[in-house]
Structure 1
Amino acid sequence: MIQDLIERKLQAAFNPIHLDVQNESYMHNVPPGSESHFKVVVVSEQFEDKKLIARHRAINAALSDELENHIHALSIHAYTQLEWQQVSGAVPESPKCAGGGK
C-alpha cells in the first residue's frame, strides 16, 4: 500500500515526534480504494531553523518516487515541536475537491 510506504519513508527520513498520514482519495473523483491523494503531518526536530519551503522540499524529496509514480496530490503540514504545541495539534482541513463529481 502506498500509505504504508509513505509512513515508512517519512519515519526513516525525519524520525518524527508525530506523524500522521491520511489517505484523502475518497474526497476526490477517483475509484474506490484509490491511493492518490494524501495529507501528511510531520513534526520533527529536523525542521528547526528551516523555512517552510525547505521543509516541504525535504518531504517532497523523501517521497520523490511516490510523487512521480503514484501520488496525484500531497498536502503537507510540517512543524517543529514548538509550532506543534502552539497549534495544539490542530491541522487545517483539506479543501473540498474542485474537480469531478464530489
Structure 2
Amino acid sequence: MFVRRAILSRGYRSLVRSTNRPSFISSPITRATRTVSPFSSLSSRSFAVANPAMADSASTSGVTADGLKDKLSTQLEAQFVEIEDMSGGCGQAFQAIIVSPQFDKKTMLARHRLVNSVLKDEIAAIHAWTPKCYTPEQWQKLQDERA
C-alpha cells in the first residue's frame, strides 16, 4: 500500500487550528495523510474492453424479464404475470405483479416466500426484487376499482 503525504493549504490549516480544540490535542495539525491506490494514476481508457459482447455479459446479471415471466407462469400456474425491469435494461432490479390461484388462503409473507422459492437462483443474481402477489379474486377487484 502506498501512502502519500500532502501539506494542507493555509486556508484549511486555519480551520484545523481552531481555538476550541479538545484538550488531548497538544499540537496543531499541519499534515494530513491520504492512502492512494496503486491504480489511482491509471486512466479509465486503460480498462476498455476489446470485445463489446464481453462487456455486455459482464455488466448484466443474465436475468431477463421474459425469463422470470416464463418461470413464474409455469411453476405457479399464474394467470397474469407482468414484470418490469426497473434498472434500465441491465437486469438488476425488477418489479412484478403476479396473479395465481396458488396464493389463495396464504398471507402476503407466504406468497412472497413461494415466489422467492421459485426464483431462488434468479434472485441471487439481481439487486432488487419487488413482487406484488394477488389471488385472481383480488386482481379482479383491483381491475374493477380502476375502471
Q: What TM-score comes out, normalization by structure 2 length?
A: 0.53
- Counterpart for residue 129 of structure 2: 74
Structure 1 residue ranges (4+ consecutive) displaced by more than 4 angstroms after TM superposition: none
User: Could you tell me the percent identity over the aligned residues?
Assistant: 31
Q: 2:95 aligns with which of 28, 39, 44?
A: 39
Give the structure, 1 or 2, with the largest relative contact order (CA under 8 Å, sep 6 or more). Answer: 1
User: C-alpha separation between the residues in 1 aligned to 2:69 and 2:102?
Assistant: 17
**Aligned residue in 1 for 2:87:** 25
Superposed displacement of residue 2, structure 1: 2.0
- In the alignment, the residues of structure 2 paired with residue 22 and residue 59 of structure 1 have an alpha-carbon distance, to the nearest angstrom, of 16
RMSD: 1.6
How many residues are aligned here? 83
Unaligned residue ranges in structure 1 (runs of 5+): 27-32, 91-102
Note if contact 2:73-2:79 (Cα within 8 Å) is conserved in structure 1.
no
* Structure index of larger Rg: 2
Unaligned 5+ segments in structure 2 are 1-62
- Indicate the SS of the match to 1:15: coil
Secondary structure of 2:143 counterpart: coil
* Structure 2 SS opposite 1:25: coil
1:88 match: secondary structure: helix
The partner residue of 2:115 within 50, 59, 65 is 59
CA–CA separation in structure 2 for the residues paired with 1:6 and 1:67: 10
